[in-house]
Amino acid sequence: MSFKEQKQFIYAFTIIAAGGLLFFLFKPFLPNKIFAEQLNSNKIVVDSLMLEAMKMEQDKSEESLFVKDSLIHKKSTIIEDSSKASLPDSEKKIAIPVKSNYRFIDVNDFNYNLIQEADSLGKYVLPKSKTLTTYNGKENLERFFEKLYELEKSTEGNVRIAYYGDSMIDGDLIVQDFRSALQTRFGGRGVGFVPITSESARSRYSIKHYTSGNWNTKNFMKGRADSIPYGINGAVHFSQDSTAGLKLLASGIKNSYRLNSPRLYYGKGNPNAAIQIKIDKDSLMQTIELNGTRSLNTATLSPKNSKRVELDFSQAQGLPIYGVDFSNDSGVHVDGFSKRGNSGLPLSLLHTAQMKEFDKTLSYDLIILQFGANVLTRKSKNYSWYSSRMSKVVAHLKKSFPEADILILGTADRGTKIGDLIKTDSSVVKLLRSQQIYAANTNSGFMSLFHLMGGENSASVWNDHKYMNNDYTHFSPQGSQKIGRMIYRELMNDYDAFAKARSQQTEEIEKNLEKEPAALQVTDSLKVKNDSLQN
């Protein structure tokens, strides 16, 4: 090495060493939360209604500030939330009414520095679920529980659930195991309603569906469009020409080994539209005309329980096509409706009249809402704006599906790198609280995935056990199966308590009915005796 090269090396080494020393000296003064191990929120596509709501909230906050004596003060028109007394002033106020007879989750209820228990080998043990001691609203699910009770006792009839969510249930994850568990106990076969296509169509395990030819899909993620007849899942599909086709294959999920009694849902449009249907390996294709005149029409594709269904659409341009339902004639059926980037707010764009048409044939008894992952990608001092708007969404759903109860699933834990550890960000609990509040304000049931996972700092442990992906937000396929079964068991705990009380009530009624004839006999005998004495 020449003298010049030695000099350059020494110079470079000195700079690197000085930089390392400066970093070490100033590390205590640097922010703890850096290089978060999570998805880049700027790359996540979220629905336009959430972006609009956050902008309105930001503008509202800016307008509510005024300068006095060179200090910035908040206007005093915001409702105080006394449960946040130990929080910074900026986080003590919430702008929505809270039902005072309920207790809600609070950010101060948790230890964010909690170190989870480890086994003898140093591996963290999966934490046990925490009991939710605050509002759960299970009394608001009694209509649904009554339908389950009647089904379990008679083994006849149908109970149907619509399960709406974001990317957490993409590809039927979570939902498929929740569905399978319910069908194992209460009966029922089939994967339920399947849209013509979706982002996860080819990766979905519970059913495989492939489109061919030219399709144009419109959905509610881009905002308001009153002229678009959205379907039950917030989307509608249009064939662009006569090359459009659809192929569906049964998969290996328990209770969904067959494509049960396929039925097509479509709207009003081209009276010349038709489909050619091929079932399994049949050499002959059946033709069905799609000339329904209502805003929502159905066509039974086959009475069989098949393994394969192929559809070719002819002259169907301009005809709204929604999807195919696979359900047998009794038991529990669960429709999974996922959309990546969905905050839940676009559900307000579902047309009430059209949803009532869907409800006439599908007859929903419970609607589950699992949202929050996308809301957490946008930081907020509190999520009162979200709670307020989702309250309106739930009111809209209740108007559209008047016979259905509503169950809100609170957000799961989400890990963020703070210092050298993956911890729960307090924003997770803030969002969880807002979800619980809007559940209470709308008389809905509430279940906390955060508590089911084990509470604070559980995401990192779930990741260690391969139950959560490396974004510390989304469950892995194994984790989705686990949390799906946990949701089922939690719901069944409440149902079993209801069923026990219901059975006791029935027994008491029957006992009272048995006593009535005996009482009547005593009364009659006394009357005869009195008559004889009088004579």
pLDDT at 201: 82
253 in Cβ contact with 334 (< 8 Å): no
Q: Average pLDDT over the chain, rounded to whole?
A: 84
The total number of residues shown for the chain amounts to: 535
Domains of the chain, by residue range, sit at 124-188+330-510, 193-329
Q: How much is the average pLDDT of 481-503?
A: 97
C-alpha to C-alpha distance for 170 and 17, rounded to whole angstroms: 48
Q: How much is the average pLDDT of 323-342?
A: 96
pLDDT at 191: 97
Q: 75-84, 99-108, 213-222, 430-439: which has the minimum mean pLDDT? A: 75-84
Q: Which CATH architecture has domain 193-329?
A: Sandwich (2.60)
pLDDT per position as a tens digit, 349-376: 999 999 999 999 999 999 999 999 989 8
Whether the domain at 124-188+330-510 and the domain at 193-329 fall into the same CATH topology:
no
For 98-163, the DSSP string reads: --TTS----GGGS-TTPPPPB-TTSPBPPPPPPP--S---GGGGHHHHHHHHHHHHHS-SEEEEEE
pLDDT at 202: 77
Tell whether the model's pLDDT for residue 67 goes beyond 50. Answer: no
Tell whether the model's pLDDT for residue 18 goes beyond 80. Answer: no
Q: Is domain 124-188+330-510 given the CATH code 3.30.365.10 in the classification? A: no
Tell whether the model's pLDDT for residue 131 goes beyond 50. Answer: yes
Q: How confident is the model at residue 282 (pLDDT cuts 50, 70, 90)?
A: confident
Q: Which residue has the higher pLDDT, 19 or 465?
A: 465
For 198-235, the DSSP string reads: -TTTTT-SSEEEEEES-EEEEEGGG---TTS---TTSE
**Whole-prediction pTM:** 0.82
Q: How much is the average pLDDT of 419-435?
A: 92
Q: Which residue has the higher pLDDT, 162 or 50?
A: 162
Burial class (CB within 10 angstroms; exposed 0-12, middle 13-18, buried 19+) of 296: buried
pLDDT at 284: 80
pLDDT per position as a tens digit, 381-406: 789 999 999 999 999 999 999 999 99
Q: How much is the average pLDDT of 412-422?
A: 91
Other C-beta atoms lying within 10 Å of the C-beta of residue 217: 14
pLDDT per position as a tens digit, 174-203: 999 999 999 999 999 999 999 999 888 878
Q: Which residue has the higher pLDDT, 145 or 95?
A: 145
C-alpha to C-alpha distance for 506 and 336, rounded to whole angstroms: 34
Residue 164, classed as helix, strand or coil, is strand
Q: 16-20, 27-31, 50-54, 157-161: which has the minimum mean pLDDT? A: 27-31
